[in-house]
Amino acid sequence: MGGQKIFLTGASSGIGLATAKALLARGHQVWGTARDAGRVPSLNDLHAITLDLSDPGSIRDGFEEGLRQAGSFDVVINNAGSGHFGAAESLSIDEIRSQFQTLVFGHIDLCFRGLAAMRQQERGLIINVTSLAAELPVPYMAAYNAAKAAMASFTMSMQFELSGSNIRLLDLQPADINTGFNDAVLRNGPADPRIERVWRVVDRNMKKAPKPELVGKWLAELIERTDPRPRVIVGDFFQSKVAPLLNQLLPQRVRVWGLKKYYGI
């Protein structure tokens, strides 16, 4: 199915930009958002939209402007996000609230807006890009892990409710992907040897991870499938296949022990 109209958040870099390029290469049109629309590359059929997930008014205005330009959307991809790194107890309630606004409430807002528009045409696809961290939490990223888990659970709940309709909802969970995500992560709290040890593991894994083009390729293929899986994990073989299987089979005590060993704490 070529020539679909797609609304994509976080299109200026990383997974979002790689996805936009993969979609354009297949003949689709993309309305790509960024907090600063000027950071979205100037490419044929890539329409830049200003949208800040921390601002409900910006979410409303950005989606409405994209819908006005496109007329309708076949696909909405919730991809944009941000992270933090530091001890959970050093997080303020405002910092936790900010993570949930960006990674949960903003995405739900766009889900509802996309769903309302798709109800009129009685078809459509919404893809929420959550994270493998929803299933396998990363130490010292408590608010991020919790927000991604909340969005994954919300997505699954909506999948039940949309069954039988021509509107589908998918959860795509990237594992470690080599983007600039770590460069933009907010480091909070005092320095601590344990935290720094985990950070070195997280940063090493990120640098060794697959490029964002892998996720872009998956997303471009998923929107063209007639019956895609409701949840897809994308990453290297160990993180996308082995780790989730072990997480399902092993008891909680063993899972916690294994993750502590993995991160050196």
Residue 173, classed as helix, strand or coil, is: strand
pLDDT for the residue 2: 53
Contact 232, 173 (CB under 8 A): yes
Tens-place pLDDT, residues 182-193:
777 777 777 788
Report the mean per-residue pLDDT for the chain. 93
229: number of Cβ within 10 Å: 11
Query: CA 244: distance to chain centroid?
Result: 18
pLDDT for the residue 15: 96
d(Cα 230, Cα 159) in Å, to the nearest integer?
Answer: 8
Under CATH, which number does the domain 5-263 receive?
3.40.50.720
Domain map (residue ranges) of the chain: 5-263
The closest alpha carbon to 61, from 70, 74, 50, belongs to: 50
The residues that bridge with 173 in the sheet, in sequence order, are 233
Q: At what angle do helices 14-25 and 213-222 cross, to 10 degrees?
A: 50
Question: What is the residue type of 215?
Answer: V
Which region, left, alpha or beta, applies to residue 46 given φ > 0 means left and ψ of -120 to 50 means alpha? Answer: beta
Q: Percentage of the chain with pLDDT > 70?
A: 98
Please say if the pLDDT value at position 25 is more than 50.
Answer: yes
pLDDT for the residue 227: 86
